[in-house]
């Protein structure tokens, strides 16, 4: 395989456009190298970071990688189906499998970032004019995945008491933690402040809405026109919103209000064993709350005597809730970031509200 062919294969893999044969070829590399220690891969940390960001970006764009599988009992937990472990295994596969192909990985990293950067009068600007996500590292070691058609600018050294960047479009940020120097993302509508975490900002010029979604950590969001620049997630602004993982805020230009809600596809934050055999329904709700970091409210008295036998696999949070409610003859509603279960008990079936 030539250098060009390898680069093209790697790019297709990161874009999830590989054929089954090409995915098998990547798996073969892993099988030959899986007994090596990570330190023996001789893969520099910057390249590891670029690969990690690319894998996360691919999974973030397609959070439900497979349709729910048939609900068949297994004797042993299918750990590969846990999203967090699947991500870690995918990262390990590519980092180990590319260890002997360092020159090609370096070529990919240089190609993916070089065409996007310009320096003008003390400012660095990244413009993504390609059809692929552009990955690069900021001077403070934070990492950015910049979407096509988007641009990001910042003072070249990212100096000062605050790390400030200006975004037009959409980007995913993995911010290097530094409590003494907050990281601020400015768009035309919003100011997003973090101390060190990962989150997505979508704010294209001329659009009626802007959005900030959190992957991990805490994020403070406020309208730019009334922004308190000294606000942080530890000391949020009065007119701002504090976001936690699996939460997002949508800002409407018409209403000029911030609406806090759950992300479309909440991710598992704390992996759980989703296999229940004649267990109290309260135990199932508790496992879902812990896994996704989402509060679930229900009438404890009505459901006190209810038990359930159920196993979850690849279903999304909302698919899990639908299956659980079906077994309980209940239904759920979603208000902002809160889920409410409506049930009349284990026998009678409640009437859902008219849509």
Q: Where are the domains of the chain?
A: 3-109, 115-262, 275-342
Q: Which H or E run includes 110? A: helix 102-114
CA distance 262 to 249: 8
Indicate the CATH number of 275-342 among 3.40.720.10, 3.40.50.150, 3.55.50.30, 3.40.50.970.
3.55.50.30
Q: φ and ψ at 345, to 5 degrees?
A: 120, -165
pLDDT tens for the chain, residues 1 to 355: 654 565 566 666 666 777 877 777 765 554 444 344 333 444 444 434 444 444 444 444 444 433 333 333 333 333 334 444 444 444 444 444 444 444 444 444 444 444 457 777 788 999 999 888 989 899 999 999 999 999 999 998 888 889 999 999 999 999 999 988 999 999 999 999 998 899 999 999 888 899 999 999 999 999 998 899 888 888 888 888 999 999 999 998 888 889 999 999 999 999 998 999 999 999 999 999 999 999 999 999 889 888 999 999 889 999 999 999 998 889 999 998 999 999 888 754 455 555 4
| Helix 102-114, helix 45-61: angle, nearest 10 | 70
Indicate the CATH number of 115-262 among 3.90.1570.10, 3.30.365.10, 3.30.70.1170, 2.60.120.1440.
2.60.120.1440
Question: What region, left, alpha or beta, does residue 61 occupy, with left being phi > 0 and alpha being psi -120 to 50 degrees?
Answer: alpha
Q: φ and ψ at 106, to 5 degrees?
A: -65, -40
């Amino acid at each position: 395989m030539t250098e060009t062919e390898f680069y093209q294969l790697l790019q297709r893999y990161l874009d999830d456009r590989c054929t089954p044969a090409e995915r098998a070829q990547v798996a073969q590399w892993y099988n030959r190298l899986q007994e090596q220690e990570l330190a023996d891969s001789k893969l520099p940390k910057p390249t590891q970071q670029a690969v990690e960001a690319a894998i996360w970006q691919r999974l973030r764009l397609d959070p439900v990688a497979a349709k729910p599988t048939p609900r068949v009992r297994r004797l042993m937990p299918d750990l590969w189906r846990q999203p967090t472990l699947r991500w870690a295994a995918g990262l390990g596969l590519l980092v180990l499998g590319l260890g002997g192909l360092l020159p090609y990985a370096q070529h990919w990293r240089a190609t993916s970032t070089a065409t996007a950067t310009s320096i003008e009068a003390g400012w660095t600007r990244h413009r993504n004019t390609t059809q692929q996500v552009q990955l690069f590292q900021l001077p403070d070691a934070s990492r950015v995945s910049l979407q096509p058609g988007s641009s990001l600018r910042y003072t070249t050294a990212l100096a000062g008491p605050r790390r400030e960047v200006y975004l037009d479009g959409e980007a995913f940020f993995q911010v290097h933690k530094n409590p003494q120097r907050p990281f601020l993302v400015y768009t035309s509508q919003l100011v997003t402040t973090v101390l060190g975490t990962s989150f997505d900002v979508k704010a294209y010029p001329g659009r009626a809405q802007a959005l900030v979604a959190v992957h991990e950590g805490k994020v403070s969001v406020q309208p730019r026109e009334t922004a308190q620049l000294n606000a942080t997630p530890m000391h949020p602004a009065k007119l701002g919103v504090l976001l936690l993982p699996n939460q997002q805020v949508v800002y409407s230009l018409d209403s000029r209000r911030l609406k806090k809600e759950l992300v479309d596809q909440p991710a598992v934050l704390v992996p759980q064993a989703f296999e229940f055999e004649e267990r109290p329904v309260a135990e199932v709700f508790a496992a879902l709350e812990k896994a996704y970091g989402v509060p679930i409210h229900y009438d404890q008295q009505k459901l006190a005597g209810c038990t359930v036998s159920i196993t979850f696999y690849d279903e999304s949070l909302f698919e899990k809730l639908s299956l659980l409610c079906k077994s309980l003859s209940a239904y759920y509603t979603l208000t902002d970031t809160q889920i409410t279960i409506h049930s009349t008990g284990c026998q009678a079936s409640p009437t859902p509200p008219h849509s």
